[in-house]
Amino acid sequence: MPKNSSTTLKRIGALLHGAGMVSEEKRHRTLEVAATYADDELGPYAAAQALESFGVAVSVHADDIDSIHEGYPRLLADAAEVAGGKVTITDVRIGEGEGGFEVGRSDVLEFERNGKLVSIPAEHFAEDYYDHEAACRAIAETAHEDDPRSWCVVGFAREPGLGYDSIMVLATPEQREALHRHLGLTFP
């Protein structure tokens, strides 16, 4: 895929299939659902978001969610599914810290990973917003130790003053290089 080619869902699907990230069947199913806009040009953020459409990434929503108590379990279930379900994540919960949200409440995001407790410090400023750093650290726990892929935050060109979801992709170093070379995505 030459660098001067426009970035579309079709091109991303071809790249992901060529890099061994999605099957031909998954590529076709995703493009069928997106048939009316599969040839539309995508900006850097939309290209990063498209990875989730193909089932190789998850997004940590930047805007408000219903509740962190419901959001984290759903987020980790989605990540575990992308990772192939080789790791069992259960009993996801928030251990609430002292004080209020106005200065950032120091909580603990806890869950069982294959029966072992994982605790991740989380700072919450509202009941309905993720701590992105804690969420990304938790997502990383869904990859199996034997998997050559690892979870990485996807970097892309950003406009100042706008809020963006944190997008995590599960990929090998070679696959990340292909995403960088062909889509301009980075992995800070």
pLDDT score for 188: 85
Distance CA 58, CA 167 (A): 6
- Region 34-46: what's the mean pLDDT? 95
Distance CA 136, CA 141 (A): 9
Place of tokens 């997008």: 167
Please say if the pLDDT value at position 6 is more than 90: no
pLDDT score for 37: 96
pLDDT score for 166: 96
Amino acid at 90: T
Distance CA 8, CA 50 (A): 9
Question: Sorting pLDDT into bands at 50, 70 and 90, what band is 99?
Answer: confident
- Region 8-26: what's the mean pLDDT? 97
pLDDT score for 114: 97
Please say if the pLDDT value at position 5 is more than 90: no
Question: Sorting pLDDT into bands at 50, 70 and 90, what band is 161?
Answer: confident
Question: What are the distances in angstroms from CA 173 to CA 6, 52, 75, 134, 149?
Answer: 24, 18, 24, 23, 8
Query: Are β-strands 166-171 and 105-113 bridged in parallel, bridged antiparallel, or unpaired?
Result: unpaired
> pLDDT tens digits, residue range 128-150?
999 999 999 999 999 999 999 99
pLDDT score for 160: 87
pLDDT score for 3: 47
pLDDT score for 4: 47
pTM greater than 0.75: yes
Going by the DSSP 8-state scheme, the letter that residue 7 receives in this structure is P
